[in-house]
Chains A and B, each alone.
Chain A
Amino acid sequence: AQKVTQAQTEISVVEKEDVTLDCVYETRDTTYYLFWYKQPPSGELVFLIRRNSFDEQNEISGRYSWNFQKSTSSFNFTITASQVVDSAVYFCALPNNAGNMLTFGGGTRLMVKP
C-alpha cells in the first residue's frame, strides 16, 4: 500500500524567511511520480510540480525548489524568501502504478506573517 507522510502539520514563518516542507513516501513501485499541490485559502488545488523517480536532480522554479532523495524516500519542498501570498496548505501526492489513484499526505499549513 502507498503512503505519504507530511509530518509538519503547521509551520509559521515571517516574511522573507526560507521554509522547507517535508514529504516522505512509501511505495513498492520501482518507477513512480511525485506531486506537490498548493491549496490557498480560496480552496482550489493548484498543481506545482511533478517529478519522476528516474530524475533525482533538484528542481528550481523561481523561489520554489524541490529536493528529491530516493535513498530516503523524501521529496521536500523549499520556498526561498517566503511571501504572505505563499500562505496555504501544501500537499504532497503519490499516484499508484496504474495512475488512477493519488495518495495525498495530510498537508502542511504554511502561514507567512508580514
Chain B
Amino acid sequence: NAGVMQNPRHLVRRRGQEARLRCSPMKGHSHVYWYRQLPEEGLKFMVYLQKENIIDESGMPKERFSAEFPKEGPSILRIQQVVRGDSAAYFCASSPPMWAAQENEQFFGPGTRLTVL
C-alpha cells in the first residue's frame, strides 16, 4: 500500500509565477490536509479537504493561495504570484474517513520544497 505521494519534491519558481503542488492520498483515504513549514519553524496547518469540499481553511492565507481536492485526481495546492516569503516545505497528510479513523492519525507525505527566487 503506497503512502502519501507528493510531487514535485522540489520546485523552484521566480517571483510572480504560479506554483502547483500535488498530493495523492493513501488508498482509501478521503481526507487531505496541507501544512506549511517555514524555515526553522514547526508545521502550521493550512487547510483540510474532503473530496470536492473544503472543510476548514482557517490556516490559509487570504490571498493567492487556494486548494482543491477533486472527485478524481490528486489534491492541488495552488499559489499564485509567488513571493520569496512563500519559500517553505509544504506537507500533505491524509486520513481515512472519520468513521474509520483511528486515534486522529494522519499520514504524511515527503513534502514539496518550494524555493522562490
Contacts and interface: CB of A to CB of B under 8 A. Distances in A.
Interface string B77-117: 00000000000010101010010010111111011010000
Contacts of A101: 33, 45, 48, 56, 58-59
Interface residues of A, number: 21
Given A99-B98, A102-B43, A45 B111 contact: yes
Given A50-B103, A50-B105, A100 B31 contact: yes
The 8 closest A-B pairs by CB, nearest first: A99-B104, A104-B42, A95-B104, A45-B108, A104-B43, A44-B110, A100-B48, A106-B42
Contacts of B58: 101
Given A95-B106, A104-B35, 15 more contacts: A6-B42, A33-B103, A33-B104, A43-B89, A43-B110, A44-B108, A50-B104, A99-B95, A99-B104, A101-B33, A101-B45, A103-B45, A104-B44, A105-B42, A106-B42
Interface string B51-77: 000011011000000000000000000
Interface string A29-56: 0000100010000011101001010000
Most buried by A among B42, B56, B89: B42
A106 B38 CA distance: 11
B26 to A, nearest CB: 13
Most buried by A among B41, B55, B89, B108: B108
Most buried by B among A50, A93, A95, A102: A102
A91 interface: yes
B11 to A, nearest CB: 14
